[in-house]
Structure 1
Amino acid sequence: MNSEQIFYIIIAIVSGQFIFEQWLDFLNHKHVSSVIPKELEGIYDEQQYKKQQDYKKANYSFGLLSDLISFLIMLAMLALGGFDLIHQWVIALSGSVIVQSLLFFGIIGLGSSIISLPFSIYGTFVIEERFGFNTTTPKIFIMDMLKSMLLSVIIGGPIMALVIWLYTIAGGYFWLYAWLVISGFTIFMTMFYTSVILPMFNKQTPLEEGDLRSAIEAFSDEAGFQLDNVYVMDGSKRSTKANAFFSGLGNRKRIVLYDTLIKDLSTEEIVAVLAHEIGHYKLKHTLWGTIIGVVQMGIILFIFGLVVGNPLLSQALGVAEPSFHIGLLVFGILYSPVSFVTGLFMTVLSRKNEYAADAYATRFGLGKALIGGLKTISSNALSNLTPHPLYVFFHYSHPPLLQRIRAINAFVNKK
């Protein structure tokens, strides 16, 4: 195989992914049911259902346009030698491999941010605003963007620099040392994200004393779960949509409830949602997700370590001499079909875990309350009640509402 063949494989992969994703989106867009399944009756009235369909159509059209522009820009960069041009710029600015790679990905990241900015603005302040979801102010929007860029520089930059440095000195053991570094960072973020990173964007306050906290503590005692950290996050500063999540490991575990969730749901429904999140912890979903992620990263780095120095990777994009950043870019594209398959496995596993966490909450007699909470969350978010099965299979990390309700009811009936 020569560099020209690799180039055409790259074009085929990028094009194939775009066509496949647009096909799935189109199937989902056209999959409209005028009849709401019996289990979902009452979630939407006629006016709300029309609003949900309009929201779905608006997001489809907007997504199609943004995806098409991104795809055309990527093709142009590949076909017209855009990545080689950036490579020539960075090697002219510095003779250091580390600095060259940081500048290369910094320029690409900045360019990507500039291109995506109008779409982010339109999605937030036009579509989300039109359907009553947006509560983000221009100031918050700008500050979020600047903070994200700053985090990329002060966290992503040093980690990438360390990985590249290991590549220059470690030889065949590069992948192993890089794996240890990235795994350590992954575990650190799993444990400390909500206490270190998240506060830069959202305020979290301990859940105050009252009926809700008492109900939560009573359930925790019944479930044998030591509950030290339950926080309320000001999600309402950006959106009216509600959520809750569990993060951390060991004594760093933390449950976070959006303030919008507390506003929209009854006490019993909130306890049911929290029981679902505790179920993820008790069933070790968070732990296994971290372990699987670390193992997958080790495999990826091992394969990358074998091929990164191959001159054909760089030559495929018009760069004569092997380069770490060009090699990484080409490898990322060539590996994407494999990544797609492993990502699909993780998506299927995630849906399985969601069913298991629902069943965990249902064991404590909270099935009816959980269904009520899920219905309210879905209704307030204008969720699609009847997505296309293929779209669900490839994209949904959570089962659709109808399948979750049927699974909960089936579990209740088996008891």
Structure 2
Amino acid sequence: MTVALFFIDMIKGLVLSLILGIPFLWGLLWLMEQMGTYWWVWAWIATVVFSLFIQLLYPTLIAPLFNKFEPIENPQIQSKIMALANRCHFKLGGIFVMDGSKRSGHGNAYFTGFGGNKRIVFYDTLINSLTPDEVEAVLAHELGHYKLKHIIKMLVVGVLLALIQFAILGYLKEQPWFYSGLGVSPSMQPTLANAQALLLFFMVMPLFTFFVTPLSSIFSRKHEFEADDFAAQNSNKADLITALVKMYEDNASTLTPDPVYSKIFYSHPPAFERITHLQSAGRGDVAHSAEEGLVIASFGQHALVRLSAEVQIPCTQKGKKNAVVTGDWVQVEVDGEQGQIVTILPRRNLFYRSDLFKQKSFAANIDQIFYVVACEPYFDVDLLGRAAIAAESAHINFVIILNKSDLTPLLPLARERLAQYVLWYPLVQTTTQITALSLQQQFSTLLEGQTTLLLG
């Protein structure tokens, strides 16, 4: 971190504290003065609402003031993330990389927000130091916190503790010994007296709540072990172990801290304990049975997937939504000579046909469409137009192939019927009378490096 960035952060933090903190503090003092004996209940409610409001704002409005957040662009990491999210039945709200390297070399990943605003954030230092498999394992750990409801549990505990604290403050505020014991005299002016009580209480509270720290650490470490177990079941535990070691090293954390100190103050188990726990966990090699392949034929919930030039396997699709179509790139869990499609990878485009009653998708990731018509038999211009419109909507190149152009008497009529289309789309004439080699030579330039859908 540069000196300039240090002071910029400090100024931003101060301004943000003033903008958010002063209105909240003013409201708290107003409640203490106006709401009678049970003001502390109202103050607790206001604090909870304010905290949730900050949690809602933090991912999209507050955090970006200090750091830059960008979606993960590595396609290998993206495919692994999508496969993992599908296995865990997790709706992705956003997975981002944060430029943490501009402040330190520490690596971290965290879960933030709630509802439709939830997101997972990786430090760029972490992405740069871990392999895609290790990133997947770390993400599985973070998803474990969400799926096991650790965030909600800690939120509930925090809300209840805040209620207890405000109840105690409500009692102490009226006790003369509270002020005299701290060597001060209570103010006679109500607003100042409330501010005085609030300030004194939060100054001395850490001294009397120290015993809560070990309990908080115990529950936090328990959650970390549970999230590790979840990751071991949904990714590869060996990758998580190597990722943990790298993270502890990058963060300059000791691998063997004092056991008493760590049990009191550490929110995360020491590396040795986590690694030992993971080594005794289940196999957790689900992710390594998943392979990427191309759908070369699809029919309902069944598909034929090409995993390599030599390997094609029949697959079924998990779930009924977003059926696979020919041209989809998918993640497949292979079991012997069959597989199960667990994830459809992001599509560049989707080609579909529709009528008044329904819409049906049947090809994806298409570069161009060859729409084949012939001088004979008679072709339907309306169907040609509908195909052209569908191609335009999916941003797919459209080429018209006119076959049997050797039928000289019929060629002018066919070209006349195509006149309005050749103004916008290329027209290639061919004939069934040429050899296969000549046909290949005619179309080789158009087909090279392109995924082409043949219609007509």
TM bucket by the smaller chain? 0.5 to 0.7
- Assess if the C-alpha contact under 8 Å between 1:243 and 1:258 holds in 2: yes
Give 5+ residue unaligned stretches, structure 1.
1-135
Equivalent pairs, count: 280
Structure with the higher helix share, 1 or 2 = 1
SS in 2 for 1:412: coil
**Among candidates 148, 157, 162, match of residue 297 of structure 1:** 162
Whether the 8 Å CA contact 2:231–2:284 is kept in 1: the answer is no
1:324: how far off? 2.1
Question: Aligned equivalents of 1:219 and 1:225: distance in 2?
Answer: 8
Which of 185, 193, 199 is residue 319 of structure 1 equivalent to?
A: 185
TM-score normalised per structure 1? 0.65
- Aligned twin of 2:271: 401
Distance, in Å, in 1 between the alignment partners of 2:120 and 2:233 is 20
Correspondence for 2:214 among 332, 344, 353: 344
| Residue in 2 that maps onto 1:356 | 226
Alignment partner of 1:248 is 2:113: yes
- Structure 2 counterparts to residues 35-46 of structure 1, below 5 A: none
| CA deviations over 1:339-364 (Å, ceiling 9, x no partner) | 22223222111100000000000012
- Offset from partner CA, 1:261-290 (integer Å, 9 cap, x none): 110000000000010000000000111111
Q: Which secondary structure state, in structure 1, belongs to the residue aligned with residue 122 of structure 2?
A: strand
Q: Report if the CA contact (8 A) 1:243-1:257 is conserved.
A: yes
d(CA) in 2 for partners of 1:155, 1:398:
31
How do 1:386-397 and structure 2 match up within 5 A? 386-397=256-267
**How many Å separate the matches in 2 of 1:334 and 1:406?**
39
Q: Could you say which structure has the greater relative contact order, defined with CA pairs below 8 angstroms and 6 or more residues apart?
A: 1
Q: Name the Cα RMSD after superposition.
A: 1.8
Kept in 2: contact 1:245–1:255 (CA 8 A): yes
Contact 1:241 1:380 in 2 (8 A): yes
Residues 166 and 241 (structure 1), Cα distance of their counterparts in 2 relative to 1, 3 Å cut: same
Bigger strand fraction: 2
Deviation at 1:209, TM superposition (A): 5.4
Which residue identity is paired with 2:163?
Answer: G
Within 5 Å, which residues of 2 pair with 1:119-158? 136-158=1-23
Paired residue for 2:252? 382
Q: Is the 8 Å Cα contact of residues 361 and 367 (structure 1) preserved in structure 2?
A: yes
Counterpart contact for 2:98–2:123, Cα < 8 Å: yes
Q: Where does residue 201 of structure 2 map in the other structure?
A: 331
Residue 388 of structure 1 aligns with an amino acid whose one-letter code is: D
Are the structure 2 counterparts of residues 350 and 270 from structure 1 closer, same or farther at C-alpha, using a change threshold of 3 Å? same
Write the deviation string for residues 32-87 of structure 1: whole angstroms up to 9, x where unpaired: xxxxxxxxxxxxxxxxxxxxxxxxxxxxxxxxxxxxxxxxxxxxxxxxxxxxxxxx
Which consecutive segments of 4 or more residues in structure 1 shift more than 6 A?
none
State how far apart, in whole Å, the 1-side matches of 2:48 and 2:152 are: 13
Which structure would you say has the larger Rg?
2
Alignment partners' CA distance in 2, 1:271 and 1:175: 45
Query: TM-score, structure 2 length as denominator?
Result: 0.59
Q: Does the 8 A contact of 1:204 with 1:233 survive in 2?
A: yes
Secondary structure at 2:96 match in 1? strand
Q: Structure 2: any 5+ residue segments left out of the alignment? A: 286-456
Percent of pairs with identical residues: 36
Separation in 2, partners of 1:351, 1:222 = 25
Question: Quick check: 2:67–2:98 contact (8 Å CA) kept in 1?
Answer: yes
For 1:181-206, what per-residue CA distance to the aligned partner results, in whole angstroms no more than 9, with x for missing partners?
10011222233312121111001112
